[in-house]
């Protein structure tokens, strides 16, 4: 006899835009985000017995995402995710957990004639700010992050001393290109309530700024021995910077740039110290992950 081992459902890819108008200065600020809200609880019978009486329609979940964006600030996204998740577990007795994911897209204010423009913005990259909130009747677990921040350094990266055996063809290198799409996250200690999230709410923007700065500064300045070691150094610094963060981690593709031997063409030198033209690779790519916990 089979039984339902786990179930959650909701609305994904809900795109939301909110504008904030400052009547005094005439300045407007905008936020664009994509929201996913999935619910868990006493919903088994909807799967096993076609009992739709326990189903909050995903259409209603979508409506709620818009209404909560109207009723509450959407910044920082951790706070909005908390209000939204709390609504579902408070409103419906049989819903025990709301899984909220918010992805914030970049709209950076234009500078025109040296001045910040009051209402015009541009997309300065595919990087997003992410939040995953798991909201129950007993508390909130929040994981914040950065995704899709593409970086490259043209030197200052080596990879040698790795295990060599009959499967190995890779040459050791003391100078290589390093490029990745940063996926970073930091997990907060449990919040007992939305009130606890609201108290000291500045922590979220501060941590996001710190993680972004640490990521880029360490990437740029570290004489990298490997992706593994460089990402570990980033994690250590994020834990140092944010005492309320318990875990931090990265998932980094190693996007390879291959040397091209052009010596067959008039003896053209384009390898080793003479390498200038490289072939960026699509795949395969390395994929290096870690999570570092506060001890």
Ligand X SMILES: O=c1[nH]c(=O)c2[nH]c(=O)[nH]c2[nH]1
**Catalytic (active-site) positions:** 11, 58, 256
By CB under 6 A, which span of 2-10, 27-35, 132-140, 223-231 interacts with ligand X? Answer: 223-231
Alpha-carbon distance 217 to 193, whole Å? 35
Q: Output the smallest distance, CB 220 to ligand X, in A.
A: 16
**62 or 255: whose CB is closer to ligand X?**
255
Query: Is 170 a residue that touches ligand X (CB under 6 A)?
Result: yes
Nearest-5° angle of CA 294, CA 211, CA 248? 30
* Residues in region 80-139 near ligand X by CB under 6 A: none
What's the first-to-final CA gap in the chain, in angstroms? Answer: 44
CB of 279 to ligand X, least distance (A): 16
Q: Residue 156, interface with ligand X (CB under 6 A)?
A: no
Considering only 83, 159, 191, 250, the residue that binds ligand X (CB under 6 A) is 159
Residue 59 labelled as part of a binding site = yes
Is the separation of the CB atoms in 12 and 63 below 8 Å? no
Nearer to ligand X, 79 or 227 (CB): 227
Judge whether 78 and 208 are in contact, CB under 8 Å.
no
3-state secondary structure of 107: coil
Chain residues 52-71 in contact with ligand X, contact rule CB under 6 A? none
Site string for ligand X, 225-244 (x = CB under 6 A): -xxx----------------
**What is the CB-side half-sphere exposure of residue 48 using CA atoms within 13 A?**
11
- Annotated binding-site residue? 227: yes
Give 86 or 218: the residue with its C-beta nearer to ligand X: 218
| 58 annotated as belonging to a binding site for a ligand | yes
Size of the site for ligand X (CB under 6 A): 8
Taking the C-alpha atoms of residue 175 and residue 117, their distance in angstroms, rounded to an integer, is 43
Residue 159 annotated in ligand binding: yes
- Cβ 290 to ligand X, closest distance in Å? 12
The nearer residue to ligand X, 37 or 234, going by C-beta atoms, is 234
Least distance to ligand X from the beta carbon of 178, Å? 8
Give the dihedral sign, CA 29/34/40/43. positive
Q: What are residue 109's DSSP bridge partners?
A: 121
CA–CA distance, 47 with 29 (Å, rounded to integer): 43
List the one residue out of 261, 265, 258, 264 whose CA is nearest residue 281. Answer: 258
The smaller minimum CB distance to ligand X, of residues 148 and 286, is found at 286
Minimum distance of ligand X from residue 173's CB (angstroms):
9
> Binding to ligand X (CB under 6 A): which residues in 233-292?
254, 286, 288
The single-letter DSSP state of residue 8 is -
Phi, psi of 249 (to 5 degrees): -155, 165
Q: Cα separation of 23 and 2, whole Å?
A: 60
Q: At its nearest, how many Å lie between ligand X and the CB of residue 226? A: 4
Handedness of CA 248, 215, 14, 121 (dihedral sign): positive
| Residue list, annotated binding site for 5-hydroxyisourate | 159, 176, 227, 254
| Residue list, annotated binding site for O2 | 254
Where along the sequence are the contacts to ligand X (CB under 6 A)?
A: 159, 170, 226-228, 254, 286, 288
| Residue list, annotated binding site | 58-59, 159, 176, 227-228, 254
């Amino acid at each position: 006899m089979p039984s339902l081992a786990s179930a959650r459902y909701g609305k994904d890819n809900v795109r939301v835009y909110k504008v904030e108008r400052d009547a005094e200065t005439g300045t407007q600020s905008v936020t664009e985000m994509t929201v996913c809200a999935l619910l868990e609880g006493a919903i088994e019978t909807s799967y096993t017995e076609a009992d739709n009486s326990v189903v909050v329609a995903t259409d209603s979940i979508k409506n709620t995402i818009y209404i909560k964006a109207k009723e509450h600030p959407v910044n920082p996204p951790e706070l909005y995710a908390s209000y939204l998740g709390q609504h579902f577990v408070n409103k419906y007795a049989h819903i025990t957990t709301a899984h909220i994911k918010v992805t914030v897209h970049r709209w950076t204010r234009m500078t025109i004639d040296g001045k910040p423009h009051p209402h015009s913005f541009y997309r300065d990259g595919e990087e997003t700010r992410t939040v995953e909130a798991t909201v129950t009747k007993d508390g909130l677990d929040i994981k914040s992050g950065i995704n899709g921040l593409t970086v490259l350094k043209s030197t200052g990266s080596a990879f040698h001393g790795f295990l060599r055996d009959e499967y190995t063809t890779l040459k050791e290198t003391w100078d290589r290109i390093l490029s990745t799409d940063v996926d970073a996250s930091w997990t907060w200690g449990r919040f007992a309530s939305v009130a606890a999230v609201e108290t000291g709410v500045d922590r979220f923007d501060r941590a996001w700024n710190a993680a972004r700065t640490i990521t880029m500064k360490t990437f740029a300045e570290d004489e990298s021995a490997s992706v593994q070691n460089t990402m570990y150094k980033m994690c250590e610094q994020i834990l140092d910077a944010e005492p309320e963060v318990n875990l931090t981690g990265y998932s980094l593709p190693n996007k390879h740039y291959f040397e091209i031997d052009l010596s067959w063409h008039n003896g053209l030198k384009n390898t080793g110290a003479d390498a200038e033209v490289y072939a960026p690779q699509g795949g395969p790519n390395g994929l290096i992950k870690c999570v570092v916990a506060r001890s």
